[in-house]
Structure 1
Amino acid sequence: MASHDHKNAHSHNEKEPLRFLASPLHNHPIDSHNQEHNHLIQHPSPDLEYQKPSSRDSTPVPKTDCNLHSHPSFHRHAEATTSELFYDLFFVANLTTFTSMLEINDGKSLRAYIGFFTLLWLTWYQVSLYDVRFSADSLFERIAKAIHFGVMVGFAVIGPQWKPGQYIDDYKIYKAFGLILMASRLTLLCQYGVTLYHTKRYSKTVTPLLMIMASTSIAAIMYGALTPAFPQVKYGADGAVVDQKSNIYIAWYVIGISETILTVAVSCIWRVISFKGTHMVQRMSLLTLIILGEGIIVICKSISKIVKNDYLWTATVVGQIIAAILIIYFLYMLYFDRIHEDHFGTIKQQIWSFLHFPLHTVLVLVLQGVSLLIIWRQAVEAIAGLSAGWEADTNNKNLTTGIEYAQALNQTAYDIVFSWVPKGVDATKELQVVERAVWKIAEGFDYYDETNQTASSQLDEGLNELFSATLTTLFDSLSVSLPKKNVESGGKKQVDFMAVANGYYGVFDLVVFYVFISGGLALIFSTLIAGLSLPKHERRAVEFIRLGVNMAGGVGLCLVTLIRHNDTSLSNYMASAWMIPTVCLTLFVCVVSNHIRPPKRKAH
């Protein structure tokens, strides 16, 4: 008898062969009541609500014919499947690679970064919207998932050449990317079609699924139709390829956002295909965790760049690194302390999920910017050392000859910058400029006279070249470069130290702007997300006060950017060590306010 039971148990637990198509439903429409009853008996849930005897749950309620053919019972996962997690790995790999490839040093590169992340996130979100509701393991689903993996590889291919809004010679990579986006939506169209096939007997699922399929097919057609709209290769009179500019890529953003809004709206209206009972909360929280992890990677890379330059590893720089790590930790607490796994309303949950798009966008920006501000602090320390050293050399009365003065300036540059150039940074060009500058300084110094304009100009030119080359090498060592237009204009004309310095200053002025805007918006969106998911039993005055403090902190961080309207205040603030701590302290106040408990009244 025991052997017979063992065989039955073994046959029951034996893994079923993989089918080509699998239904996302719990049971077949025919004899739904009996199969649901059998399902409950054969697959007991470990949850307490299924273990407790209850008149409501002990016996399945018979469904009428109307309910049977209108409200299907979809299979739900308690947590993310391994295929979903594997898909997330492609997302984070793309994000990490693109972040390392694209340097944000002007408005164009900032818009390019946001645009690429938008397309990447919306593609991930569209696939996730299907997975959490309708995915069922089958051969077809695995083939579809392989295509989605290939789409993510397509993002990796276009990432290094992503230059939207700029003049380029050939748009073939953009045309290929349009076809990749089309393939992604066609795959989703097939997946929704399979779901419709399995649920066609349920009247209330047909219309919403057809609407989602229509929007997905229209998006696929538009992605494909835009491909030939990009410019063809154009040749000039001399036979050379002429660079061209095209803004057709903007349509990709419009299509992606429009189809996502429509998909979410359909789910809000036809709640039979809503996120209720799905693991959507876990999917969004996992992606948030991945993005915060990406921030840790970016900051660690900044630390490694500084470690390569051993000079000026000061307590101030260490303090900046600690504050940056705390920013990530505080953002983690502000988000995950407010996560509620329980269902908090069908429409609210879908708005909650889509609000993660702006949240994740500003999170990647603020963490990327904070990593650059660490590098800026290191550069400020080095520049202060250079200025003090060169000033001491200039005021040194013992340097009586031109060669002594030039060598002293050169030695200061080597002690602080050129001796610490890390491997992989080619400073050959700058070293040649410094070598020529030293001879110009020496000759100009020896023949310097108020009436000798030639010697005076030669001395100024030598100093200008020395300072420019040293400053360029310093930032090259920290992996910071100027926008191409500044570099090209600098190469055609005489090197101007102030132009180079102002160029780097402008790069970090932009960083300060988007760090505080993004940091403030991150607080605002996390507060909105927390407010939407707030359970009824926690909707008390003290909770709304806490949310108000977070919202005020976000608005305050955004208002810090107003300092850019005063050049003196901005330069003083950027020269200080308080930019990263400002964000850190604001987040700290918000975290503390979320955990302060009002004093309990004593019972009389």
Structure 2
Amino acid sequence: MSASHRHNGGRSSSTPPESSHSLNRSPLWERDDANGGHGQRERNRRRRPAEYDFAEDEEGSLIQFDRRESATTSELFYDLWFVANLTVFATVHPITEVDALVSFVGYFLLLWNTWFITTTFDARFIHDGILPRLARACHLTVMIGFAIAGAAFDRKELIRSIIKALSLFLVLSRLVLTAQYCLILYGVRHNKRGRRALVVAATLTFIPAIAYLVVGIVSDTSNNRHVIIVWYVVGLLELLGGILHATLSKTLSFEGTHFNERLNLLTLIVLGEGIIILAKNAAKIVEYTYLKGISTYWSPALVGTLFSAGAIIYITYQLYFDWMPQGHHHPHMTPWRHAAWTLIHLPFHAVLVLLSEGSSQWAVWWRAIESYREVEAKLEASVNDNIADSDSTRSSKVAEALKDTAYSIMKKYGSDPEDGSKNSQDLDTAFDDINGLPSSFWDQGMKNTSDPNYRTWVDSYLGVSRTTMNSVSTAFGLSSEDKKDSGTTDGKSAELAAVNSTLVRLHTIFAYLFVSAGIVLMLLMILHILAKRKGWSQFDMLRAAIVFTTGTGLSLVATIKLNPSMLSSFINSPLQLPIILICYFGCLILTHIPVSPAPTNERSDQSEKGVKNVERRSHRTRDPESAVPGRRQRHSSSREEPISGHRRQRGNDNSAYDTDRSAQRKDRPEPNMAERVVDHLWRAVYDLFVPRAERRYDDRGRSRAPAYWV
């Protein structure tokens, strides 16, 4: 068998139609070894079952497996279940606490690792049948198991039944993969090299299955935290083992497969999951503004925050695929580069989800801040409108106005102020205390901080304001602690109390938002460096340094939380997401800045290729094998002379063409500084909006806008 992988563009012609439902189709090519292994011929019209006789194959030649250039619908359907699990987890457990963040990282590791080992098998072997479809059903069942376990994955100590269930689902996934590898192993059992590679692959899935089974059994008596750590350790070792085996094995390597396309598609799916989260949070903002009648407009800051969140996802998509070389499904990377490129996608996808989650959560948080301010303004207005009268019923009017305003706000945000709960009782007590204040207090007591009635008024008002604002926090998913702050006496203290009650969660969102934004940029550039082996100019190196510096700077913004005063002023300004957007947009501009490549002359290149072809043909005519009696000479000297003359004529034409172009350039006047700046900006805009495949270039190798651009 041939030692090199041979594959066609798209699906190979020998691949059976997916509608043929045999029990199990072999993913092997059939070869014709009539000439001692030379001149092998692929029989594309039919395939035998994988029952080859390799008894005479003493050297253990490479097994040639069928390859596919693109993913099947079955694989894409499986990917949809992956994003469904991510969406469910992010919906049930918004990442607003450190515990939720840690739980997400562990859950994502197990989910991504399960997707990876299943995808590696799909990329290596292409076949359809009853058994493969049953195996796919088992893998989808495992995804359902992840959805079930994800509902309780935010706790510090998981429920034992959840640990058992998820362990059994992980065991099922690995055992099914082991059985699938064994089926392929049976087909190549006579080939030493293929048998050894498949035994290793089956072992790498069977050993983790035993480990997960032990975890499910031991969870009855062991500490749940230790059991969860075993999950993560086994998952990492399994992932590293699979990548290492694909790197070292020539039989089961990723070369010639569509595995890179699957990773690219998964990146799109992860970005889509971020869009889903953003859309849900935007719908929540619409509900608590227009639909509930709370507000009739969106502030420019809120609009800018939502726009920035969506633009960050869009620019991330552009950077990922713009920094992939052409033909990104099969970039020419060495095995170790490809291993690193594959492994980096795990943290990249994790921080990409965190970036999307943090951006959308920050939009919700900014709307909550605006709601706090609106609530405080309405409560103050209800008090000021009723203390202007000089009658003796001012206290009862103030209490009634506060009650009506607070109840109206709480009902709009989904809370029931009359449900008999502790908050409802506290509100009634506060209203009674305000109603019992003397009428003279509103004339003199409001300015006398030493008056005992003043302390009663402050405590009662803050209690009403705090309870009302807590309903806002609950509506937006920012639950707050109900702590009284009786030491504050100014009118803005209610708003600060509501903000401080959710400050811990806010700091968590702020920290992982900027850290993930910086890490995403740096990992994007690392993936670009690994995928692009050649063609690095000085500008490319400068751009890489700028991107790394920008990513590091964004990550270090999270250290502002060490300075409380600076953090407070920064959080209360709508600049967080716009700052990230500006940095990302700057990196996108750097990607599309026109850089003049080395001048090339297409005609001279064609001439050089023609001369090389002539020399190659001349070499073949001088080949001693051409003198063998009975062998027809494919290239005669009679054909060589006209070709050489034709090439010489084209070479003379090229020389004249270059002379004319040089003379034209000399006749042109030198542009002044303003014309150069305008020309440079015009080329930058042209290169930014026109795909590379559609760009036109002038004789100097610079981008040239077509006529309809002018």
TM-score range, shorter chain: 0.7 to 0.9
Does the residue aligned with 1:463 lie in a helix, a strand or coil?
helix
Partners of 1:29 and 1:201 within 8 A in 2: no
Q: Report the Cα offset of residue 392 of structure 1.
A: 5.3
Relative to structure 1, the CA distance from residue 163 to residue 321 in structure 2 (aligned partners, 3 Å threshold; closer, same or farther) is closer
Q: Distance in 2 between matches of 1:322 and 1:372?
A: 13
2:323 is aligned with 1:338: yes
Count residues in correspondence. 549
Q: CA deviation at 1:249?
A: 0.9
What code does the residue aligned with 1:129 have? T
TM-superposed deviation, 1:500: 5.2
Q: Deviations over 1:243-272 (max 9, x none)?
A: x86331121111011111011111111233
Query: Aligned AA for 2:249?
Result: W
How far 1:201 sits from its partner (Å)?
3.1
| CA distance in 1: counterparts of 2:200 and 2:475, whole angstroms | 54
| Distance in structure 2 (CA, Å) of the matches to 1:117 and 1:107 | 15
Question: Does the 8 Å CA contact 1:208/1:267 hold for their aligned counterparts?
Answer: no
Question: What is the CA–CA distance in structure 2 between the aligned matches of 1:143 and 1:291, rounded to whole Å?
Answer: 27
2:87 to 93, 96, 102: 96
Tell which deviates more after alignment, 450-459 or 98-107: 450-459
Instruction: Work out which of the residue numbers 564, 579, 583 in structure 2 matches 1:582.
Output: 579
Aligned to 2:41: 37
- Confirm or deny: 8 A CA contact 2:275 2:310 kept in the other structure: yes
1:398 matched to 2:384: no
Residues 40, 183 of structure 1: CA spacing in aligned structure 2 closer, same or farther, 3 A cutoff? Answer: closer
Report how far residue 357 of structure 1 moved: 0.6
Change (3 A) 1:601 1:34: closer
After superposing the two structures, state which structure 1 stretch, 446-455 or 558-567, moved more: 446-455
Match of 1:23 in 2: 26
1:418 to 404, 410, 423: 410
- Higher RCO, Cα 8 Å, sep 6+: 1
Taking the aligned partners of 2:109 and 2:283, their CA distance within structure 1 comes to 29
Q: What are the superposed Cα offsets for residues 128-168 of structure 1, whole Å, 9 maximum, x if unpaired?
A: 011101242122211111110100010111111223423x6
Contact 1:178 1:224 in 2 (8 A): yes
- 1:340-489 matches, within 5 Å, as 340-345=328-333, 346-391=335-380, 398=388, 401-410=394-403, 413=406, 417-418=409-410, 420-421=412-413, 428=419, 429=421, 433-444=426-437, 446=439, 455-482=453-480, 486=481
What percentage of aligned pairs have identical amino acids? 29
Counterpart selection for 1:548 from 542, 545, 550: 545
Of the three residues 217, 220, 227, the one matched with 1:228 is 217
Gaps of 5+ in 1: 1-11, 44-62, 234-243, 491-495
Letter in 1 for 2:41: H
Deviates more, 1:465-474 or 1:27-36: 27-36
Deviations 1:8-33 (A, max 9, x none): xxxx9988842222222122697696
* Corresponding residue for residue 154 of structure 2: 163
Deviations 1:290-329 (A, max 9, x none): 1111111111111111111222521211111111111011
TM-score by length of 1: 0.83
Counterpart residue type for residue 27 of structure 2: P
* Aligned counterparts of 1:515 and 1:173: Cα–Cα separation in 2: 30
Q: Judge conservation of contact 1:295–1:328 (CA < 8 Å) in 2.
A: yes
- Alignment match, 2:558: 561
Greater helix percent: which structure?
Answer: 1
Q: What is the aligned partner in structure 1 of residue 9 from structure 2? A: none
Deviations 1:455-498 (A, max 9, x none): 4454333223212211111122223324xxx57x99xxxxx967
CA pair 394-164 structure 1, distance change in 2 beyond 3 A: closer
2:61 aligned with 1:70, yes or no?
yes
From 131, 150, 170, the equivalent of 1:140 is 131
Query: 1:206 and 1:441 mapped to 2: Cα distance?
Result: 85
Q: Which SS does the other structure have where 2:30 is aligned? A: coil
2:41 partner SS: helix
Q: Deviations over 1:539-584 (max 9, x none)?
A: 2222222222222221111011111111111111110000111111
In structure 2, the gaps of 5 or more residues are 1-14, 48-53, 290-294, 485-492, 600-661, 666-710
Q: 1:575-600: CA deviations, max 9, x gaps?
A: 00001111111100011101101257
Distance 1:296 1:247 in 2: 35
How many angstroms apart in 1 are the aligned matches of 2:552 and 2:90? 27
Looking at structure 1, the residues matched to 209 and 306 of structure 2 have their Cα atoms a distance apart, in angstroms, of 45
Does the CA contact (< 8 Å) of 2:32 and 2:40 recur in 1?
no
Instruction: Give TM-score scaled by structure 2 length.
Output: 0.71
3-state SS of the aligned residue for 2:225?
coil
Native 8 Å contact 2:30 2:42 kept in 1: no
Amino acid aligned to 2:225:
S
> Partner residue of 1:184?
173
Go from structure 1 to structure 2 and tell me whether the alpha carbon gap of 1:106 and 1:28 turns closer, same or farther (over 3 Å shift).
Answer: same
**Alignment match, 1:527:** 525
Equivalence map 1:204-283=2 (5 Å): 204-231=193-220, 246-283=225-262
